[in-house]
Structure 1
Amino acid sequence: MRANRRAWVRRVVALALGAAAATALTQTQQRLLPAQSEITFTSRQMGVPVTGRFRDFDADIAFDPRRPEAAQIRIDIDLASVTLASSEVEAELATPGWFDSRRTPRARFASSAVKPLGGGRFEITGRLTIKNVTREIVVPVTLAASGTSTAASGRFVIKRLDFRIGDGDWGDTSLVADEVQVRFRLLLAGVAVP
Structure 2
Amino acid sequence: MRPMTRRTALATLGAAALCPLAAAATERRYVLDKAASSVGFRFFVNGIAQAGTMPVSAADILIDPDRPAASRVDVTLDVTGARTALPLATQAMIGPDVLHAARFPVIRFSSTSIRLSAEGRLSGGATVTGALTLRGLTLPITLNANVFRARGSGPNDLSTLTVRLDGAISRAAFGASGFPGFVGDAVELDITAVIRSAT
1:171 aligns with 2:180: yes
1:141 partner amino acid = A
2:91 maps to 91
Q: 1:87, CA displacement in angstroms?
A: 3.3
1:171 partner amino acid = P
Alpha-carbon distance between aligned partners in 2 of 1:111 and 1:55, rounded to the nearest angstrom: 19
Alpha-carbon distance between aligned partners in 1 of 2:180 and 2:68, rounded to the nearest angstrom: 39
Matched positions, count: 183
Correspondences of 1:6-85 after superposition (within 5 Å): 10-85=10-85
Alpha-carbon distance between aligned partners in 2 of 1:37 and 1:79, rounded to the nearest angstrom: 16
1:138 aligns with 2:147: no
Q: State the SS of the aligned residue for 1:80.
A: helix
1:180 maps to 187
Could you give the per-residue CA deviations for residues 149-192 of structure 1, whole angstroms, max 9, x where no partner exists?
A: 1101131011111111133xx133xx11111111011001139x
Alpha-carbon distance between aligned partners in 2 of 1:71 and 1:101, rounded to the nearest angstrom: 30
Q: State the SS of the aligned residue for 2:130.
A: strand
Q: 1:13, CA displacement in angstroms?
A: 4.7
Q: State the SS of the aligned residue for 1:16.
A: helix
Could you give the per-residue CA deviations for residues 7-63 of structure 1, whole angstroms, max 9, x where no partner exists?
A: 556544532332222122112111111110000101010111111101233221112
2:149 partner amino acid = A
Q: 1:142, CA displacement in angstroms?
A: 0.7
The alignment's TM-score, normalised by the length of structure 1, stands at 0.84
Q: 1:101, CA displacement in angstroms?
A: 1.2
Q: Does the 8 Å contact 2:27/2:65 carry over to 1? A: no
Q: 1:66, CA displacement in angstroms?
A: 3.0
Q: Does the 8 Å contact 1:34/1:58 carry over to 2? A: no
Q: Does the 8 Å contact 1:126/1:136 carry over to 2? A: yes
1:162 maps to 173
**Gaps spanning 5+ residues in structure 2: where?**
154-158
The alignment's TM-score, normalised by the length of structure 2, stands at 0.82
Q: Which has the higher helix share?
A: 1
**What is the aligned-residue identity percentage?**
21
Out of 115, 129, 132, which is 2:133 matched to?
129
Out of 173, 189, 194, which is 2:196 matched to?
189
Could you give the per-residue CA deviations for residues 102-142 of structure 1, whole angstroms, max 9, x where no partner exists?
A: 21111111111111103541211111111112221111111
Q: Does the 8 Å contact 2:58/2:77 carry over to 1? A: yes
Alpha-carbon distance between aligned partners in 2 of 1:189 and 1:23, rounded to the nearest angstrom: 21
Q: State the SS of the aligned residue for 1:129.
A: strand
**Gaps spanning 5+ residues in structure 1: where?**
none
Q: Does the 8 Å contact 1:74/1:111 carry over to 2? A: yes
